[in-house]
Amino acid sequence: MSISVRQARPGDQEALALVGAATFLESYAGVVDGGAIIRHCAERHTPAVYAQALETPTHSLWLAEQAPGAAPVGYLHLTPPDLPIETRADDLEIKRIYVLASLHRSGLGRRFLAEAVTHARAEGASRLLLGVYQGNERALAFYDSMGFERVGTRQFDVGGRIYDDWVLALDL
């Protein structure tokens, strides 16, 4: 199996929307209300949402593709911080690191995090922030192993239902 990671570009919005919805469903089926998952994906994992992100200069996205055939299997999305904590002018937020469940523990999440750190440093950032559902033990263990620390909380709307997230930070 060969997986490539490249910076996403206009035209990738369909692939990003597909892998975004698929990974969200995989991660939260059985944890989050099914109707809320469907509504969330219909609102936030659409080609139009990703096309807008690709056109926004302050957003950066990377797409992972599996060969043969370049099927989308994950992505990374970096943005200016939009979190309910005190942020610094040079912070960046990891809006999403999504990887298909079949590729968990493959190193792809680490590759995405390395891309995020490299990009953040090149942009002059001194800290990466992200929000993680408090019940997502797998993701929390991953970020903990990578050196992230809990710095706050937020509430996250998934299809009209509110869930509690930890806000994590990694000093660069």
Over residues 39-44, the mean pLDDT reads: 94
Q: Which residues does the annotation mark as catalytic?
A: 143
CA-to-CA separations, 166 to 4, 46, 56, 144, 148, in angstroms, rounded: 30, 25, 26, 12, 11
What pTM does this model have?
0.94
DSSP state of 9: -
Q: Report the mean per-residue pLDDT for the chain.
A: 95
The domain total for the chain is: 1
Look at residue 112 and give its three-state secondary structure.
Answer: helix
Q: Which helix (H) or strand (E) holds 137?
A: helix 137-145
Alpha helices in 13-107 (DSSP H): 13-28, 34-44, 47-55
Alpha-carbon gap, residue 86 to 148, rounded angstroms: 17
Alpha-carbon gap, residue 139 to 70, rounded angstroms: 25
Residue 32 has pLDDT above 90, yes or no: no
**Which one, of 83, 91, 97, 149, lies nearest residue 121 by Cα?**
91
What's the pLDDT band for 161 if we cut at 50, 70, 90?
Answer: confident
Look at residue 75 and give its three-state secondary structure.
Answer: strand
Q: With beta carbons less than 8 A apart as the criterion, state whether 81 and 87 touch.
A: yes
Sheet strands side by side (includes 91-99) = 2-7, 60-67, 71-79, 91-99, 127-133, 161-171, 149-158
Residue 99 has pLDDT above 90, yes or no: yes
DSSP state of 102: G
| CATH classification of the domain holding 154 | 3.40.630.30
Look at residue 136 and give its three-state secondary structure.
Answer: coil
pLDDT tens digits for range 84-97:
999 999 999 999 99
Residue 62 has pLDDT above 80, yes or no: yes
Residue 1 has pLDDT above 80, yes or no: no
Task: Tell me the sheet residues that pair with 77.
Answer: 61, 96
- The parent domain of residue 145 ranges over 2-171
Residue type, 66: Q
